[in-house]
Chain A
Amino acid sequence: MFDRRLMKNFDIALLLTAFCVIGIGVTMIYSSTYRLNGGNSRYYVRQIYWLLVGLLALLAVISFDYRKLVKMGYLIYTVSLILLVLLLLKSGRGDARRWMELGFFRFQPSELAKLSVLLALTQYIYDRQKSLAGLRDLIIPFIILLIPVGLILIEPDLGTTLVFFPMLLIMLYLGGLPFRYIFFIITPIISMIISVSLWYWLLFLLILLALVYYTRTTLFEGIFIWGVNLATGIATPIMWNLLKGYQKNRLLVFLNPERDPLGAGYNIIQSKIAIGSGGMWGKGLLMGTQNQLNFLPEQHTDFIFSILGEEGGFFWAFILLSLYTFFLFRALDIAANAKDDRGSLLAGGIIGLFLFHIFINIGMTIGIMPITGLPLPFMSYGGTALLTNMVLVGILENIRMRRFETHR
């Protein structure tokens, strides 16, 4: 079916690492849903089915050149935008508008949107003749990004929109954008956080002014960056008041979960208790009291890591993070040794996606990140997410396999 030379370059270590994580994940899903439905739960079986579907998707993805895929980038992008718009025509809010029913199965168009933005950005950066040099070169990438982000925000699904930004940043970084611009892009976020205190924020604006001056940024760019920061700093308090109660609460509770231990802070507290009580070696499979007695919310999806922390302890958490590190290192290697820039950019974007998911999800379970509802790659129960992740692995393998191809 495949060229033998292609198969020789298949990175079996990358896939095996993913399998190891999936294996741990399925075990945790088994443990966390053990008592549901009177011990007859089949969640873990379903996850294995989805893994098989994901493998098929992986095979499909590696079977044709990633360069062809990138060439179809804008097309796929357009299709995903259409799907997102169709989704918004549905009535209801939240979960109802995140899923698209396709008769026998359902999926989240936002997952496809991730992929399509990845491809479209790659296509755009690759197709440019010149290197990325200034803010003006960022206009198109941001437009590509913000359209689906806006559509997903309307659903609303705040958590998912966040993952687009680290993906973009890493792609721009690897695409050659001077580092100061990467910094400038994130300055509005810093402004937003610092604007809590007026004086610190004004100090930050001054520092920003100096930075803009000394880095010899053009006058227009300097004014723009400074203006955007000024605007976010002023808008943040206003936006804060426009936030919905539960959103405000989520942010405040993140700062101090004990302010609402039975409400919004419950998840974080119980998750920390679960992980903390796991100690070094854990309580053993199926022995986690926080898990088995249902103190943990959403044990098999968002808080699957808490179960590993509780039943496996620091030992297994360390193993999992090592596996993730190894996985990301392989992906970085793929990015470094890709045949062309498209491969590097794609791999970079995928690294951004995975890294962000891992950091936000685990950070959430141990109380250093707010609750966003992002799943843990290869671990959390959920078919679409697993499928997407397998496709991403497929793309990585695709790049890897074709790194020695001379021309196309």
Chain B
Amino acid sequence: MPRQKSFNTSDWFRKRIAYLTVFVQLIILVLLGRLWFIQIVSGHKFEKRAKENRLRLIPLKAPRGLIFARDKKLLVNNRPVYTVSIIPQGVQELPTVVKKLSRVLGLSEQEILAKIARQKKRRFQPVKLLPDVDLKIISLLAERKRDFPGVIIETEYQRNYLYNKLAAHVLGYVGEISETLLDTPEYRNFYQGDLLGQQGLEKTYDNYLQGLPGGAQVEVDAYGRERRTLYTRKPVPGYNLNLTLDLSLQQAAEEALGELIGAVIALNPNNGEILALVSHPAFDPNLFAGRISSGDWQALNDNPWRPLVNRAISNHYPPGSTFKVITATAGLEEKIISPADIFSCNGSFRLGRLVFKCWKERGHGSINLEEAIIHSCNVFFYNLGYRLGREKLIKYAYLYHFGERTNIDLTNEVSGLIPTPQWKRAVLNQSWYPGDSVQFAIGQGEVLVTPIQLANAYAALANGGTLYKPMIVKEVKTVSGQRIRLFQPKILGKIELGPKTLETIRLAMWKGVNRFGTGRRTYLKGRDICGKTGTAQVADVEYNEKNKEETAFKLRPHSWFVSFAPYKDPQIVLLVIVEHGGEGSSNAVPVARKVYEVFFEGQPIDTEMIESYRYPYMASWARPKTPAAGENPETTDADQLSTSDGNAEPIELQGQPRSGQDQPSAPGDKERNQP
């Protein structure tokens, strides 16, 4: 049906076509204007964002340094831990991949899908499927990469303590850096999840062990998969530590201590090197290497025996009788007594209305210094302490560096306590009584020492008076073996101990082990061990063989045995403390014996008995010098001269009457106690 008139030739139609043309131009111009704005005006902004999209800086963690015991025996290394993850986005045949994965990993399909679903919100992030996957499975996945699109293997290095609990308190443990530390400026280069030494050497040497993390700039696609690496800075592995610790001795010490609660320290008295340091109960630092489970953490914290505490340095104890040799050196050096001075022990020491008991009810009778040490007579040392007085007692305690930290390279060392009148006034609001000095002399009362302090003091006795800072790290080396630091023995202080003093004390300790003393259970033929036991009261409780069973465990005294060997040229100081172990001679001494057995294993037995074995009651300077077979005659003359010079005088000077003058109450005691 044709129209009468066609409108598309009319004027208004022409006009409308023209308007429409303008409209089309306007639309195109709007688009072009916007494009100009996006691409030209703010192009650089979007360019930056495109870069942020595709570039990722992947931190490459530096492997922590290794820790070796003496003789390059590996103690701590890093174990690769493989985590299998998946980036599900962009994987076309996800169900088949999941099916294959479930077969390989041993997870059910539902489990995998649930894990993927749980992370739906954070797109493009790898979903962790299984941590700590076996290497066999990893290599299988790596070989058949094409069959597992989207699956990625992340490698992390986990601290691995090869001997589990061995030397746990020395090595310490690592843990993830805390949120609060991350915020501090010193740790600004750290990332969340980075490991930091938390205890022990891991903490004190963290700067060396840490290494320098590297990084890789990679180009990733929209699903976070790496396409190519643009730039890499390799991480520098942490430095290795070579310890002074002797692996076999450490093992022996841990075995010897067994299930007993306490500590064992073995160190070289000539340079302060720690050979073994045991604290029991211990913990397995591997537990902390991953993320410690709350159950394990709870168990460690709730354990009443506090396995995390390093008893060798972080606990202090009354030293008990082990302190007597310290008092003895003070007495000899201050010339309060001479080795020949005799006191009488009738089982107790009376000071005004106070009575201080000896452990032997019947008393030791007339006893000299050497015997007092051998038999650990309290009354002798009560007398000595009384005569020394508090100032000299405290002075000598400080000379042996009691009451202050040794600054061993381990964490949480405590300083122990040497009571002073000031301290007593401030803390207990009491003044110092002579009774305090009497208690002080036998290492009871308020005196508290750490095992490491005591071992160090005995080391000074063994080496002639030098106090070394206990050393546990010998050197720091790079992975390639370049030495970064070598630690030299560091001297904390020196005590002037005369040769006579030393010999008297050492000989008494030798006899205490080799002849008749409290430490004879550790007697090893030809090893010439010198030692002193201690039974440190923890409470004012009578404790003896009879009521042993009834006394509550926590009230039982700690048992000590501190020793060095061999007599002539001491190579080792060995300290054993068994918490609440009862008498030192029964509990601590057998532990020490086992350690000595291992220490001396393979060393030729010294068949030449020391001189004094033949003259059991005399120090060398007091006995007639008879040249032994094979001895150099040239030195013999000189020795004889010097010893004969020093012989006569002290004996005469330090006689019985002098001690009687110093202590008015003593004669009365003696009269009563004389059989």
Contact = CB atoms under 8 A, between A and B. Distances in A.
Interface string A284-296: 0000011001110
Interface stretch (B12-20, B251-259, B368-376): B12-20
B25 to A, nearest CB: 7
Interface stretch (B27-35, B132-140, B232-240, B435-443): B27-35
Interface stretch (B2-10, B413-421, B490-498): B2-10
Contacts of B38: 272, 275-276, 309, 366-367
B53 interface: yes
A363 interface: yes
Given A276-B46, A313-B39, A332 B32 contact: no
Contacts of A278: 39, 43
Given A174-B17, A289-B53, A127 B1 contact: yes
B50 interface: yes
A126 B4 CA distance: 11
A325 B24 CA distance: 8
A293 B220 contact: yes
Nearest to A331: B24
Given A277-B46, A355-B24, A344 B13 contact: yes
Interface string B570-599: 000000000000000000000000000000
B123 interface: yes
Contact of A275 (B30, B46, B54): B46
A326 B21 CA distance: 11
B163 interface: no
Interface string A325-355: 1001100100110101101100010010001
Given A127-B1, A262-B123, A289-B50, A332 B20 contact: yes
A318 B33 CA distance: 10
Contact of B53 (A290, A309, A332, A336): A290
B13 A275 contact: no
B144 interface: no
A273 B39 CA distance: 9
A93 to B, nearest CB: 21
B3 A355 contact: no
Given A174-B20, A314-B36, A366-B31, A277 B47 contact: yes
A336 B6 CA distance: 12
A197 interface: no
Contact of B54 (A289, A317, A340): A289
B118 interface: no
Interface string A168-179: 001001111000
Given A314-B36, A340-B6, A173 B16 contact: yes
A275 B39 contact: yes
B351 interface: no
Name the residue in A280, A294, A363 with the highest tally of chain B Cβ atoms < 10 Å from its Cβ.
A294
Contact of B20 (A173, A176, A325): A173
A180 B561 CA distance: 111
Contacts of A325: 24-25, 28
B39 A351 contact: no
A131 B28 contact: no
A303 interface: no
B633 interface: no
Nearest to B46: A276
Contacts of B34: 363, 366-368
B31 A321 contact: yes
B61 to A, nearest CB: 26
B227 interface: yes
B7 A314 contact: no
Contacts of A309: 35, 38-39
B222 interface: yes
A38 B27 CA distance: 40
Nearest to B146: A38
Interface string B188-230: 0000000000000000000000000000000111110001000
B45 interface: yes
Contacts of B124: 262
Contacts, number: 144
Contacts of A275: 35, 38-39, 46
A33 to B, nearest CB: 14
A160 B132 CA distance: 52
Contact of B12 (A176, A332, A344): A176
A27 to B, nearest CB: 19
Nearest to B21: A332
B127 to A, nearest CB: 15
Contacts of A272: 38, 46
Nearest to B31: A362
A290 to B, nearest CB: 6
Contact of A344 (B8, B47, B50, B223): B8
Contact of B50 (A129, A273, A328): A273
A107 to B, nearest CB: 25
A366 B222 contact: no
A348 B8 CA distance: 12
A338 B40 contact: no
Contacts of A335: 8, 17
A314 B222 contact: no
Contacts of A262: 123-124
Given A277-B47, A289-B54, A294 B31 contact: no
Interface string A238-280: 0000000000000000000000001000000010111111111
Contacts of A184: none
A213 interface: no
Given A309-B35, A324-B28, A336-B17, A273 B49 contact: yes
B439 to A, nearest CB: 73
A355 B27 contact: yes
B660 interface: no
B526 interface: no
Nearest to A315: B39
Nearest to A361: B31
B650 interface: no
A368 B32 CA distance: 12
A359 interface: yes
B511 to A, nearest CB: 82
A129 B3 CA distance: 7
B20 A170 contact: yes
Interface in A167-218: 170, 173-176
A92 B447 CA distance: 87
A341 B40 contact: no
Nearest to B89: A294
A240 B621 CA distance: 110
Interface string A356-378: 00110011001110000000000
Contacts of A355: 24, 27
A174 B13 contact: yes
Contact of A341 (B7, B14, B35, B43): B7
Interface string B125-155: 0000000000000000000000000000000
Contact of A351 (B1, B20, B47, B227): B20
A293 B54 contact: yes
Contacts of A341: 3, 6-8
Interface of A: 126-127, 129, 131, 170, 173-176, 262, 270, 272-280, 289-290, 293-295, 309, 313-314, 317-318, 321, 324-325, 328-329, 332, 335-336, 338, 340-341, 343-344, 348, 351, 355, 358-359, 362-363, 366-368
- Pairs of residues from A and B, 5 with the lowest C-beta to C-beta distance, nearest first: A276-B46, A277-B50, A294-B222, A293-B221, A344-B8
12 contacts: A174-B17, A262-B123, A272-B46, A293-B219, A295-B221, A309-B38, A309-B39, A321-B31, A324-B28, A325-B28, A329-B24, A338-B8
Given A174-B13, A317-B32, A367-B38, 12 more contacts: A127-B1, A173-B16, A176-B12, A290-B50, A293-B220, A293-B227, A309-B39, A314-B36, A332-B17, A336-B8, A340-B8, A348-B20
